[in-house]
């Protein structure tokens, strides 16, 4: 945006000019705009002000001996000087009112009124100056009118400064938000105009009521000395108040300079000189003009500075905005690609689910066929062997008889394998239903059934600790206990006193149940085979089984969202542990 750059370039060059008397690090708009009246004076400001005051005083001291030196009356000096004052003061008043309307600090409006007052009084002073526009002056002025207007003028402004300084330090100076700033300004302007006009009228219409200050030849009366000293004293009072308040804003710092110049002005042009148009008269007036320009100059510098800041901020905001737009675009692009990836993923999940479902259906019909068709020939084998024995038993010798038994046993074993395999695949396919399961009751029930099934009731030392309830499918969990407990019974059967310990460990997220026996144990070398289908760690003759039981147990536990693990040592027993989550969300199908 070239417009911004042009603007900020111009503003920053103006700011560079303005910062001749300031540090390079100007306050930025980041913390809100700073104004003359709020900006704290920095050491560089203080140094500049001191220098100006020092120069003023030196020049003043140098001029004092020559104050009474009469000079040529230059009539044009008066209107030029007064016009300069009027314009300066009115512009200053305008800018201060402007600051007031932003900051709403009432003391600022008072000070602005002070500048309006001096502007008006300067105008009256010029208009009534004898011999300037008419021999006696305009506005019905008499011989003393101009002198008195000067006195009112030069006593008035310091009073405004005092009022400003005293009010400034106090809380509650801020105009409430409910009140209109414009109306307050209007009230200030109206009362100031009234005051100035009133004073002017007192000096013109009330001329005869006031003491005589100037003699016919232009010499000062005693009254003049008293009045001018009092006027000078008000400026001194203002300076004292300014120093006493030790207020630290740039505005107050420059007000001190202004009041100093004001003191010199009054001293040279009405106290230490002899009359109109001598050196003191001119020098004092020049001081006054310079004094009137200080605040104006500072305000103008500040205005340009603020413009520079505004331009800079605008450019920065535009850059930030652009950056934001870019970030938004990037984020939108990222979101779009994320959405695409998500959709692709969903598609893939759908495809995978469909193919899994197809595989499941295939598996389903496969196991269904197995359960129906695999057993028929097996039954034929067992059946014909049975017929052979029943119908032809008398013709068979002992060996044939044993072989027939062998056929039957193997057929039965095959049947068991098929049934176990079907059970295993059923666990994988069937959805798990969940309900509260009383594990204590379930274990007692299982043990009772196991003991019933055992042909020889061996003495088993059961050590059963209380078991926390769980959630799951009771039938499947019972299958877990049946398999683990029958294993424990089976593999500890060779012990003189089999000991089987059942217990549980309650943990925050899950419950861990365990079955521990003192049986023949197993070698951890074969741990990875423990839960495999048809994996057996012992010979079938010694400990019968198909090798599917633990695979079924593992599958059931995992379908419930739990884990199973074991530890064992050869001839030192085994401990099987399985966990079931407490959170119902896990393992749901």
Q: How far is the CB of 397 from other proteins (least distance, A)?
A: 20
Q: Which of 514, 532, 529 is nearest to 575 (CA)?
A: 514
Contacts with other proteins, 410-449, as mask; x by CB under 8 A: -xx--x------x---------------------------
Give the residue with the Cβ less far from other proteins, 143 or 371. Answer: 371
Among 16, 61, 186, 387, binds other proteins (CB under 8 A): 387
Give the shortest CB-378-to-other proteins separation in angstroms. Answer: 6
Q: Which residues have C-beta within 8 Å of that of residue 285, sequence separation ≥ 6?
A: 77, 81, 265, 269
Q: Which is nearer to other proteins, 256 or 555 (CB)?
A: 555
Residue (47 or 430) nearer to other proteins, CB = 430
**Binding-site residue total for other proteins (CB under 8 A)?**
22
Among 136, 229, 408, 410, indicate the residue that binds other proteins (CB under 8 A): 408
73 closest CA partner among 211, 217, 271, 277: 277
Q: 565 Cβ partners below 8 Å, 6+ apart? A: 576, 577, 578
CB of 379 to other proteins, least distance (A): 5
327-386 binders of other proteins (CB under 8 A): 368, 371-373, 375-380, 382-386
Task: Give the torsion sign (CA, 249, 250, 253, 259).
Answer: negative
For residue 508, the surrounding DSSP H or E stretch is: none
| Tokens 């200030």, located at residue | 188
Nearer to other proteins, 47 or 379 (CB): 379
Residue 453 Cβ vs other proteins, minimum distance, rounded to whole Å: 17
User: Considering beta carbons, is residue 80 or 417 the nearer one to other proteins?
Assistant: 417
What is the closest distance, in whole angstroms, from the C-beta atom of residue 405 to other proteins in the complex? 12
Of residues 260 and 421, the one with the C-beta less far from other proteins: 421
What is the layout of strands, in order, in the sheet containing 510-517? 461-464, 499-506, 510-517, 574-581, 564-568
Asked whether the beta carbons of 467 and 503 are under 8 A apart, the reply is: yes
DSSP string, 476-487: HHHHHHHHHHHH
Exposure string of 397-432, with b = 16+ CB inside 10 Å and e = fewer, is: eeeeeeebeebbeebeebeeebebbbbbbebeeeee
Contact (Cβ atoms closer than 8 angstroms) between residue 155 and residue 232: no
In the complex, the smallest distance separating the C-beta of residue 526 from other proteins, rounded to whole angstroms, is 32
For other proteins, give the closer residue by CB, 240 or 378. 378
Question: Who's near 393: CB < 8 A, 6+ residues apart?
Answer: 401
Residues 242-281 interacting with other proteins (rule: CB under 8 A):
none
Question: Minimum Å distance from CB 475 to other proteins?
Answer: 11
The residue (of 372 and 457) whose beta carbon lies closer to other proteins is 372
Residue linked to tokens 């038993």: 393
Is residue 198 involved in binding other proteins (CB under 8 A)? no
Q: Minimal distance in Å, beta carbon 431 to other proteins? A: 12
- Indicate the residue among 249 and 367 with the shorter CB distance to other proteins: 367
Query: By rule CB under 8 A, what string of x and - marks binding of each residue 119-158 to other proteins?
Result: ----------------------------------------
| Nearest to 306, CA basis, from 2, 91, 15, 13 | 15
Write the DSSP symbol of residue 76: T
Closest distance between other proteins and the C-beta of residue 415, in Å?
Answer: 5
- Residue 131's closest CA among 69, 212, 87, 73? 73
Which of 419/454 has CB closer to other proteins?
Answer: 419
User: CB of 399: closest distance to other proteins in angstroms?
Assistant: 20
Beta carbons within 10 angstroms of residue 375's beta carbon: 16
> Interface with other proteins by CB under 8 A: which residues?
368, 371-373, 375-380, 382-387, 390, 408, 411-412, 415, 422
């Amino acid at each position: 945006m070239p417009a911004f750059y042009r603007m900020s370039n111009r503003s920053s060059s103006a700011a560079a000019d303005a910062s001749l008397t300031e540090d390079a690090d100007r306050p930025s708009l980041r913390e809100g705009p700073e104004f003359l009246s709020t900006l704290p004076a920095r050491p560089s400001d203080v140094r500049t002000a001191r220098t100006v005051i020092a120069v003023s005083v030196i020049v003043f001291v140098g001029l004092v001996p020559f104050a009474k030196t009469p000079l040529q009356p230059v009539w044009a000096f008066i209107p030029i000087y007064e016009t300069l004052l009027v314009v300066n003061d009115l512009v200053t008043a305008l800018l201060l009112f402007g600051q007031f309307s932003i900051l709403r600090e009432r003391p600022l409006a008072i000070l602005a009124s002070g500048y309006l007052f001096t502007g008006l009084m300067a105008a009256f002073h010029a208009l009534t100056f004898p011999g300037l526009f008419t021999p006696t002056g305009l506005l019905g002025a008499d011989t003393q009118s101009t002198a008195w207007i000067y006195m009112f003028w030069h006593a008035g402004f310091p009073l405004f400064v005092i009022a400003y300084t005293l009010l400034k330090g106090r809380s509650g100076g801020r105009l409430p938000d409910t009140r209109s700033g414009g109306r307050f300004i209007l009230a200030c302007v109206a009362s100031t105009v009234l005051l100035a006009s009133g004073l002017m009228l007192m000096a013109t219409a009330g001329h005869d009521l006031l003491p005589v200050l100037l003699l016919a030849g232009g010499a000062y009366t005693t009254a003049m000395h008293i009045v001018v000293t009092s006027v000078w004293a008000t400026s001194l009072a203002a300076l004292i108040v300014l120093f006493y308040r030790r207020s630290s804003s740039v505005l107050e710092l420059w007000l001190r300079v202004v009041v100093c110049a004001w003191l010199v002005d009054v001293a040279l042009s009405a106290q230490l000189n002899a009359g109109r148009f001598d050196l003191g008269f001119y020098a004092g007036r020049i001081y006054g003009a310079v004094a009137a320009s200080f605040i104006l100059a500072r305000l103008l510098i500040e205005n340009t500075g603020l413009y520079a800041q505004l331009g800079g901020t605008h450019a920065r905001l535009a850059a930030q905005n652009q950056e934001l737009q870019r970030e938004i675009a990037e984020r939108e692009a990222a979101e779009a690609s994320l959405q695409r990836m998500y959709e692709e993923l969903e598609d893939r999940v759908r495809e995978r689910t469909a193919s899994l479902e197809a595989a499941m259906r295939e598996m389903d019909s496969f196991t269904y066929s197995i359960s129906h068709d695999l057993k028929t020939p097996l039954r034929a084998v067992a059946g014909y062997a049975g017929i052979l024995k029943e119908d032809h038993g008398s013709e068979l010798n002992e060996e044939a008889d044993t072989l027939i038994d062998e056929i039957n046993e193997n057929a039965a074993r095959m049947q068991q394998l098929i049934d176990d395999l079907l059970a295993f695949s059923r666990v994988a396919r069937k959805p798990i239903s969940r309900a509260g399961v009383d594990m204590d009751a379930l274990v007692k029930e299982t043990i009772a059934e196991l003991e019933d099934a055992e042909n020889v009731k061996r003495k088993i030392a059961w050590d059963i600790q209380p078991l926390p309830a769980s959630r799951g499918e009771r039938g499947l969990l019972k299958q877990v206990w049946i398999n683990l407990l029958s294993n424990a019974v089976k593999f500890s059967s060779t012990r003189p006193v089999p000991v089987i310990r059942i217990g549980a460990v309650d943990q925050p997220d899950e419950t861990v149940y365990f079955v521990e026996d003192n049986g023949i144990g197993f070698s951890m070398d074969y741990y990875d085979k423990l839960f495999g289908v048809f994996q057996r760690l012992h010979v079938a003759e010694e400990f019968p089984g198909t090798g599917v039981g633990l695979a079924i147990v593992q599958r059931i536990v995992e379908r419930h969202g739990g884990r199973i693990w074991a530890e064992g040592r050869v001839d030192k027993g085994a401990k099987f542990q399985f966990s079931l989550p407490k959170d119902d969300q896990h393992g749901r199908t």
